[in-house]
């Protein structure tokens, strides 16, 4: 099977990187020859796929060389990492490998994240119906229709796709971020309440929701918390920090931007409380799942907890206003009984919603069924066939034009 990545997987940098690696390892586990290809350059933080016995290739955009590559690989399955790669490469896959099952991993609904970001900028309330007016929605939903199966990371996004966009359930498969229970440390193996110090926030600085949350913490939330706990610090971690991000660091205020974490386990499990006041976003938030995994209560927003839990069922507290956020952060930090209850709730959420054992067999069965009934599924998906035909023609002539221009 072939996975076409938007970028090389960096599981230590983002939840998207972890998700991509989980999928690669899943197909390896069920005995596929797994090939990963991307047009992006690798970084020093990219996972060593060859060490995992996964073949790695560099491919070109808008080049007939990819057609030859497809012919050589001749995959049974092609998985697109995010709708952008589906737009770029699916027409070539459909032409060169018409019998290959085409799977889209959305990572998250980009249209949902960007619609919420725009609503925040304009100080407007986000409404689900606004998604229907988005050009990005049209692109992303078209990509799902063109694919034989799409992996959806959030239950809420499954609801959006079915109820707002009216997508057929036969095109969708729910697959959250997952944890292996055998690798889940017992709470008594992790630092105790007394051994933990300070607050922590973590997230890739290249991801706009994370950067917005850091700025919101700095300007409005941390001053309220610090006023009540003057000796306590907030440590901000995240991949790809630049001078712009590091400039917010202020030791006197206890607001310390530290950049990339060498070990998420270490920095999260040594903190007493994780703060994640996300004001826009989509998908499942890896930092919040890691907080549950490492026994660290968290205070987040409704958007942060979306698809994972709610105010009544959370590993700490879910708050959307400043005063409540600060109040709950203080309670979790200072009251041991509340801290311990939150730890237990986090483990309950993991076992109820995020163990890999609950999802991988079902995914394998769904893929096998889709392969067996591929022709029938495509006949039933007329909209997808129509969009694939349009995509093939438009992308083909655009790619040819780019190719010819590059030769001059």
CATH of the domain at 300: 3.40.50.2000
Q: Tell me what pLDDT residue 76 has.
A: 97
pLDDT digit string, tens, across residues 97-126: 999 999 999 999 999 999 999 999 999 999
Mean pLDDT of 209-238: 97
Give yes or no: residues 335 and 398 share one domain: no
Q: Which of 330, 355, 380 represents a domain boundary (last residue)?
A: 355
Q: Name the pTM for this structure.
A: 0.93
8 Å CB contact between 243 and 178:
no
Q: Which of 336, 355, 374 represents a domain boundary (last residue)?
A: 355
Give yes or no: residues 224 and 329 share one domain: yes
Give yes or no: residues 218 and 165 share one domain: no
Give yes or no: residues 384 and 288 share one domain: no
Q: Which of 355, 371, 396 represents a domain boundary (last residue)?
A: 355
Q: Which pLDDT band holds residue 389 (cuts at 50, 70, 90)?
A: confident
Task: Report how far residue 187's alpha carbon sits from residue 184's, in angstroms, rounded to the nearest whole number.
Answer: 9
Note down the domain range covering 162: 2-175+359-407
Q: Which pLDDT band holds residue 396 (cuts at 50, 70, 90)?
A: low
DSSP-derived secondary structure letter, 193: T
Q: Which pLDDT band holds residue 402 (cuts at 50, 70, 90)?
A: low
Give yes or no: residues 78 and 165 share one domain: yes
Give yes or no: residues 152 and 48 share one domain: yes
Give yes or no: residues 157 and 220 share one domain: no
pLDDT digit string, tens, across residues 130-175: 999 999 999 999 999 999 999 999 999 999 999 999 999 999 999 9
8 Å CB contact between 3 and 76:
no
Q: Tell me what pLDDT residue 279 has.
A: 97
Q: Is the pLDDT of residue 406 over 70?
A: no
Give yes or no: residues 110 and 256 share one domain: no
Give yes or no: residues 201 and 109 share one domain: no
Cα 124 to Cα 133, 306, 362, 366: the distances in Å are 15, 19, 40, 40
Task: Report how far residue 301's alpha carbon sits from residue 1's, in angstroms, rounded to the nearest whole number.
Answer: 38
Give yes or no: residues 91 and 188 share one domain: no
CATH number at residue 145: 3.40.50
Task: Report how far residue 13's alpha carbon sits from residue 205's, in angstroms, rounded to the nearest whole number.
Answer: 9
Give yes or no: residues 215 and 84 share one domain: no
pLDDT digit string, tens, across residues 337-386: 999 999 999 999 999 999 999 999 999 999 999 999 999 999 999 999 99
- CA 361 vs. chain centroid, Å, equals 21
How many other C-beta atoms can be found within 10 angstroms of the C-beta atom of residue 312? 6
Q: Is the pLDDT of residue 242 over 70?
A: yes
pLDDT digit string, tens, across residues 298-340: 999 999 999 998 888 999 999 999 999 999 999 999 999 999 9
Counted domains in the chain = 2
Residue 179 CB-density burial (10 A; 0-12 exposed, 13-18 middle, 19+ buried): buried
List the Cα angle 195/197/200 in 5-degree steps: 130
Q: Tell me what pLDDT residue 401 has.
A: 64
Give yes or no: residues 248 and 150 share one domain: no
- 57: helix, coil or strand? strand
Q: Tell me what pLDDT residue 118 has.
A: 95
């Amino acid at each position: 099977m072939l996975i076409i990545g938007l970028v090389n997987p960096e599981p230590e940098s983002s939840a998207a990187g972890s998700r991509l690696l989980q999928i690669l390892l899943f197909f390896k586990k069920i005995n596929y020859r797994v090939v990963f290809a991307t047009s992006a350059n690798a970084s020093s933080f990219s996972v060593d796929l060859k060490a995992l016995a996964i073949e790695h290739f560099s491919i070109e955009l808008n080049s007939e060389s990819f057609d030859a590559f497809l012919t050589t690989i001749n995959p049974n399955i092609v998985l697109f990492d995010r709708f952008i790669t589906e737009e770029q490469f699916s027409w070539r896959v459909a032409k060169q490998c018409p019998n290959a099952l085409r799977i889209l991993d959305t990572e998250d609904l980009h249209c949902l994240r960007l619609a919420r970001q725009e609503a925040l900028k304009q100080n407007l309330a986000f409404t689900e119906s606004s998604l229907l007016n988005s050009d990005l929605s049209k692109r992303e939903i078209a990509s799902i229709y063109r694919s034989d199966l799409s992996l959806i990371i959030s239950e809420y996004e499954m609801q959006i796709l079915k109820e707002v966009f009216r997508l057929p359930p036969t095109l969708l498969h729910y697959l959250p971020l997952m944890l292996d229970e055998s690798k889940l440390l017992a709470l008594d193996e992790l630092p105790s309440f007394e051994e933990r110090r300070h607050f922590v926030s973590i997230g890739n600085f290249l991801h706009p929701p994370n950067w917005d949350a850091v700025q919101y913490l700095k300007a409005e939330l941390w001053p309220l918390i610090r006023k009540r706990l003057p000796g306590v610090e907030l440590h901000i971690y995240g991949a790809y920090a630049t001078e712009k991000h590091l400039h917010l660091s202020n030791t006197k205020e206890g607001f310390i931007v530290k950049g990339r974490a060498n070990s998420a386990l270490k920095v999260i499990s040594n903190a007493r409380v994780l703060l994640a006041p996300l004001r826009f976003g989509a998908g499942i938030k890896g930092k919040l799942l890691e907080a549950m995994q490492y026994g660290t209560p968290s205070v987040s927003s409704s958007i942060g907890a979306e698809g994972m839990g709610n105010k009544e069922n959370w590993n700490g507290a879910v708050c959307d206003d400043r005063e409540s956020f600060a109040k709950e952060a203080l309670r979790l930090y200072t009251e041991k009984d509340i801290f311990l209850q939150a730890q237990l709730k986090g483990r309950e959420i993991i076992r109820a919603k995020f163990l890999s054992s609950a999802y991988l067999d079902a995914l394998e069965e769904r893929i096998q069924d889709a392969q067996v009934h591929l022709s029938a599924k495509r006949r039933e998906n007329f909209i997808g066939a129509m969009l694939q035909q349009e995509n093939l023609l438009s992308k083909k002539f655009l790619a040819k034009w780019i190719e010819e221009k590059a030769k001059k």
